[in-house]
Amino acid sequence: MDVKDRPARPVRKAAMAASSAAAAAGGDGGGGGRDRKPVDVEMLSDWQPSDNTSSSSSSSSSSSGSDWEGKKVVKKDQGKKKKQVKKVKKKGPVTPEDIEMEDVFELAPEDALMALEAVAQQLQMHLNWINEATAKAQQVFDAKMALEPDSDITQNRMEQVRKIQASGLLPLNLWDIFHGLQPFPIVGPAAVSNITSLVAPYTGSIFPTLRLMEVKGNTLCIVASVRNRPYLRNPFDCLHAAALANLGEFVGGTGVVIATQLINDQDALEASKGGEHATAATAPLPPPPPPGKVRAILKALQCTYHKKATSTVTGTCEVDLAAIKACCADNQHDSSHGGYAHDMNQNSHHGAGAGGGTGVYVVKATLTDESAVRVAEVETHWAVQRSQKGRKGDSNSNRSHKTD
């Protein structure tokens, strides 16, 4: 139905009737404003809704019409408000009088003092923690200084002092650093990891954490771990094979380096004791030269991978001190090859201490995940020998003794 043909609403019928009556009373030109068309009042009065349906439709249309008019009024008011806001922005900055101020809670002096007291308590807790750590470090230092002069640790300290006096540099002893920081379980592993990163930057790229370093009988045990970090993963969302090989080499290399340091300290202690117990009969003879320092260098690395590493990986290895010392004893008489083995796959010393050494020691590191499942195995072949300083001194002293 067209809008013009639609019957007028009851409210508008009365308005239209009133306007037509006013127009008739005033004449054609008597009324002000625009001329309106005459309305047939009889037609409007004769129109009545035929049934309930028409009445309901008229009521619904009236209600919808009223809603529409209400929405139009609201939109008009909103437009006015926006115009007012724009006018205010054009005029200049808003003054405090134009803004409705809210009550703001102000802190009293007592509240400020309470906040400062809370900060002071936290600082005091930190100071107490630092004092406790300092006291523990002092206890460890006093305990080490109170050892007997003939103990191994004291002799090792004296050997380090001699090295410092001779070279002017502080030698890096990972054994002393690790056990010196052992009373601090939070700071210790992080400090050892940072030192490792400084000494071996490539090994430090995986951020290994040294967990255990102890000697059981004649076996040195090393345990280290690496977290599954995003930059260490491969495209398959697990630890890269190179990172696992790096961890295995770090565990085995740390074991061999610490073993050589312990053997050198033991040799220095035995040499000092041998000179102290010299008798009058042996006094005219020259003292025996100190043995050469034990040193090792990596010659081969072999990795075997069993499973993907998707969690923290822990590497464990055991180093036999007696086997390394036997390696050095065997290759002392092999001067033609500089103390190194002819073939690293034949007659090599393993971690179990197999006999027939030719100067090569094989360390086997086992890598496991958090579920104790074997992830990989890394074998490192180390060529072990003693330095030639002691041997040269020995030959010169024997030659001079024979000529005399």
Alpha-carbon gap, residue 151 to 173, rounded angstroms = 18
Whether the pLDDT of residue 147 is over 80: the answer is no
Residue 193 lies in a domain: yes
- Helical H runs in 233-388? 241-276, 321-331
For 28-50, what is the mean pLDDT? Answer: 49
For 270-285, what is the mean pLDDT? Answer: 56
Whether the pLDDT of residue 82 is over 70: the answer is no
Whether the pLDDT of residue 245 is over 90: the answer is yes
If one compares 178 and 332, the residue with the highest pLDDT of the two is 178
If one compares 180 and 68, the residue with the highest pLDDT of the two is 180
- What integer pLDDT is reported at residue 152 of this predicted model? 64
We report the CATH number of the domain holding residue 212 as 3.10.129.10
Alpha-carbon gap, residue 117 to 124, rounded angstroms = 10
* Long-range CB contacts (within 8 A, 24+) of 17-23: 17/41, 17/44
Domain that holds residue 363: 172-275+288-403
For 122-136, what is the mean pLDDT? Answer: 76
Residue 166 lies in a domain: no
- What integer pLDDT is reported at residue 313 of this predicted model? 95
- What integer pLDDT is reported at residue 5 of this predicted model? 57
For 101-120, what is the mean pLDDT? Answer: 67
State percent of the chain over pLDDT 70: 54
- What integer pLDDT is reported at residue 312 of this predicted model? 94
- What integer pLDDT is reported at residue 87 of this predicted model? 53
Question: Mean pLDDT over all residues of the chain?
Answer: 70
Most confident of the ranges 231-235, 260-264, 271-275, 336-340: 231-235
Residue 248 lies in a domain: yes
Residue 18 lies in a domain: no
Give residue 14's pLDDT band: very low, low, confident or very high (50, 70, 90).
confident
Give the up-direction half-sphere exposure of residue 47: CA atoms within 13 A in the CB hemisphere. 14
- What integer pLDDT is reported at residue 388 of this predicted model? 67
Sign of CA dihedral 272, 276, 279, 282: positive
Sheet bearing 313-320, strands edge to edge: 209-216, 219-226, 313-320, 360-368, 374-386, 294-305
- What integer pLDDT is reported at residue 238 of this predicted model? 92
- What integer pLDDT is reported at residue 378 of this predicted model? 96
Alpha-carbon gap, residue 391 to 332, rounded angstroms = 9
- Helical H runs in 313-383? 321-331
For 335-361, what is the mean pLDDT? Answer: 44
Give residue 161's pLDDT band: very low, low, confident or very high (50, 70, 90).
low
Alpha-carbon gap, residue 266 to 132, rounded angstroms = 34
Residue 41 lies in a domain: no
For the chain, the domain total comes to 1
State percent of the chain over pLDDT 90: 21
Is the pTM higher than 0.75? The answer reads no
Whether the pLDDT of residue 303 is over 50: the answer is yes
**Token pair belonging to 221:** 């045990």
- What integer pLDDT is reported at residue 93 of this predicted model? 58
Residue 70 lies in a domain: no
- What integer pLDDT is reported at residue 404 of this predicted model? 36
Residue 48 lies in a domain: no
pLDDT digits (tens, 9 = 90+) for 370-392: 999 999 999 999 999 887 654 44
- What integer pLDDT is reported at residue 124 of this predicted model? 82
- What integer pLDDT is reported at residue 2 of this predicted model? 54
Residue 155 lies in a domain: no
Most confident of the ranges 52-56, 147-151, 200-204, 266-270: 200-204
**Token pair belonging to 29:** 């030109």
Most confident of the ranges 45-54, 115-124, 130-139, 316-325: 316-325
Query: How remote is the C-alpha of 390 from its chain's centroid?
Result: 47
Which of 55-64, 79-88, 190-199, 215-224 is least confident? 55-64
